[in-house]
Amino acid sequence: MAGMFRSRVAGIGSYLPEKVLSNFDLEKMVETSDSWIVERTGIERRHIAAPDQATSDLCLQASLRAIEDAKITVNDIDMIIVGTVTGDHPMPSTACYLQSKLGARKVFAFDVNAACSGFLYGLSIADQFIRTGMYKNILVCGAEVLSRYMNYKDRETCILFGDGAGAWIVTRANPGDTQIIESSHLHADGDLTELLTLPAGGSRIPQSHEAVEKGLNYMTMKGREIFKNAVRTMAQCCEEALAANNLSMDQVDWVVPHQANKRIIEAVAGQFDFPMERVIVYVQETGNTSAASIPLAFDWAVKTGKIKRGQTILLTAFGAGLTSGSLLMRY
């Protein structure tokens, strides 16, 4: 039955691979140091998927935990969305692999490629399908195995990125429920695509011996430009969410930003004079896990007693594209 409903976060889960790559490990691989990395990024370690683990394997672990937390069964899931840029294969979607591994019904399943904004894009899509009454329980997962696309001779990128997965069950709220997703605000600026790219592997530059020899199978990034645009776009998206809900930052309990770099997070908070004590920072443990970063940080913050039910939470992200977004909710 079609109608206007609201959605809420019913369950959350996350997964980090067992292998840890510390800054001290990187000192042996590239010209860098623990102090240099920590000072510039806040990152101390990152997790690396095992050779036999693909993105759908990480999704599976996070999703099972979210399903358990939501107190539903796999058969209750009506739709599966996976935000990733490092899918198991270019085709088919990682969401379809996840559907099979979960043993879910033959439900709507697809991937979203919005890089580090992928989880927010997925949440917003799930929110719309629930609002219209089409579906009741939607699994949204953000997951990456970025280590497969790192050049561990390139200090610009290899110190930043790690692997991981996070998943949420978004479900139809009961009438009168105040713990709901209030609004989401998504953007993209395709004029800035060259700032963060994975050049080879698509129709523009197919995989080939020549592409590999040129290093085009590795991620490339223009760090200074990314920093500037990240701060600008996330601050704007936060302002948009606050205005849409007639709120001030004083009424927000926690900000959960994309965990790209501690300096970026501090700069965004500084735009609002928002205290860092109310900003979730987990980048020290995970590095930048792209689409997985927000659900990983959120799950950690709930488990450590920071984020609690009923609180007002502002999520914000930016990523390659350049994509950006925010989502305001009462958890």
Enzyme catalytic residues: 116, 258, 288
Contacts of 204 (CB under 8 A, 6+ apart): none
Contacts of 65 (CB under 8 A, 6+ apart): 12, 13, 14, 15, 167
DSSP annotation of 131: H
Distance CA 187, CA 37 (A): 30
Cβ neighbours around 293 below 10 Å, total: 29
On whether the CB atoms of residues 103 and 72 are closer than 8 A, the answer is no
Residue for token pair 């790690």: 162
Distance CA 53, CA 318 (A): 26
Backbone angles phi, psi at 93, to 5 degrees: -70, 150
On whether the CB atoms of residues 45 and 159 are closer than 8 A, the answer is no
Cα–chain center distance at 93:
17
Distance CA 202, CA 239 (A): 35
Residue 263 corresponds to which tokens in the numbers above? 């300096």
Residue for token pair 């900000």: 255
CA angle 53, 95, 217 (to 5 degrees): 55
Per DSSP, the three-state class of 226 is helix
Residue 282 corresponds to which tokens in the numbers above? 């987990």
